[in-house]
Chain A
Amino acid sequence: QVQLQESGPGLVKPSETLSLTCAVSGDSSTSGSYYWSWIRQPAGKGLEWIGRISPSGSTNYNPSLKSRVTMSVDTSKTHFSLKLSSVTAADTAVYYCAREVVIVIGDAFDIWGQGTMVTVSS
């Protein structure tokens, strides 16, 4: 069973770049294809999809964040990363990494990390 674990600084200064990594462990094989996604949740608010990256490195980003987001995946496929530039207090949130599995009859985030809290403050 695949497990995901986010890591990175819990505090980032305004205007700097937030950098997070998601470690993938376990057997990631699946009968369908999959993507690695980042999703965030500001305190007291709902979930916001940030974007996704395929194991081959192709990306899709939320247009609301596209100009500031960069995702990457390492060649060993054991880690993938998120960089969010020019952060402000509005980027303070719990950040989750998740696997999106695409099968014949569905497409869903079937595995999630525990989440990591990132605060933007000077």
Chain B
Amino acid sequence: DIQMTQSPPSLSASIGDRVTITCQTSQDIRKYLNWYQHKPGRAPKLLIYDASNLETGVPSRFSGGGSGTDFTFTISSLQPEDLATYYCQQYSNLPYTFGQGTKLEIK
């Protein structure tokens, strides 16, 4: 299985801050990586697919980058509604695997 190392596990930031989360994979997955937002009690939501493509309807303050084994997810200006846990997920190989998540808290 491809191992996913996501960091940091938790993050506290202020409204308007730029926030970056990283995801490292145990082998080269080209750009086959997605990012999801998960709010408590709700269905996870796809934000970014294929490492850097913004899903339809997702605000442009969210962005993704990287390829190979190192990826980043950025919120350019943190908003109150961004309180959530964020996960990376690879689809290069089965079984699909997810990062352990980054819990984002608002200061």
Contacts and interface: CB of A to CB of B under 8 A. Distances in A.
B99 A63 contact: no
A96 B97 CA distance: 15
Interface string A20-64: 000000000000000000000000011111010000000010111
Given A108-B34, A109-B36, A63 B50 contact: no
B100 to A, nearest CB: 4
| Interface band, chain A | 20 to 34
A109 B34 CA distance: 9
Contacts, number: 60
B72 to A, nearest CB: 18
A107 B42 CA distance: 22
Contact of A47 (B43, B49, B53, B98): B98
Interface residues of B, number: 25
B44 A114 contact: no
B50 A110 contact: no
B98 A60 contact: no
Interface residues of chain A: helix, strand, loop or mixed (majority): strand
B103 to A, nearest CB: 11
Given A49-B98, A64-B95, A105-B50, A112 B43 contact: yes
B47 to A, nearest CB: 10
Contact of B50 (A45, A49, A106, A112): A106
Contacts of A62: 94-95
Interface string B30-73: 00101010000111111001100101000000000000000000
B49 to A, nearest CB: 4
Interface of A: 45-49, 51, 60, 62-64, 96, 98, 105-110, 112-115
Interface of B: 1, 32, 34, 36, 41-46, 49-50, 53, 55, 87, 89, 91, 94-101
